[in-house]
Amino acid sequence: QVQLVESGGGLVQAGGSLRLSCAASGRTFSSYNVAWFRQAPGKEREFVAALSLSGINPLYADSVKDRFTISRDNAKNTVYLQMDSLKPEDTAVYYCALTRYSGSYNRYTTKNYHYWGQGTQVTVSS
């Protein structure tokens, strides 16, 4: 089974930046479409960004578009989330996720992702 470990979270002032990393186990990381989700206290987990196998055509939630950048390094079995211009409402636990689906599927829903990390806390102060 695939195991994922997120890192890079922390405390940052509004307007600042953080870079999250998600290291994946296994030799077939490049075979998975990847995504980032986040979950604020008392709220459901929500979609943040997704990236295809090739790293082409990233998809972003409207709330983070033009501020966050998802990327992947298949040679390192790692997916990244560069977060710029952070806002207090970005405060959440951020999770990376992999899906076994590689064809046509809804990238926005948690139900379509099969492997999850434990999350890393991002806190943005005012």
pLDDT at 27: 66
Residues 6+ apart with CB under 8 A from 57: none
Residues 6+ apart with CB under 8 A from 39: 45, 46, 92, 93, 95, 119
What is the rounded CA–CA span in Å between residue 91 and residue 125? 8
Coil, helix or strand for 101?
coil
| Ranges of residues in the chain whose predicted pLDDT is under 70 | 27
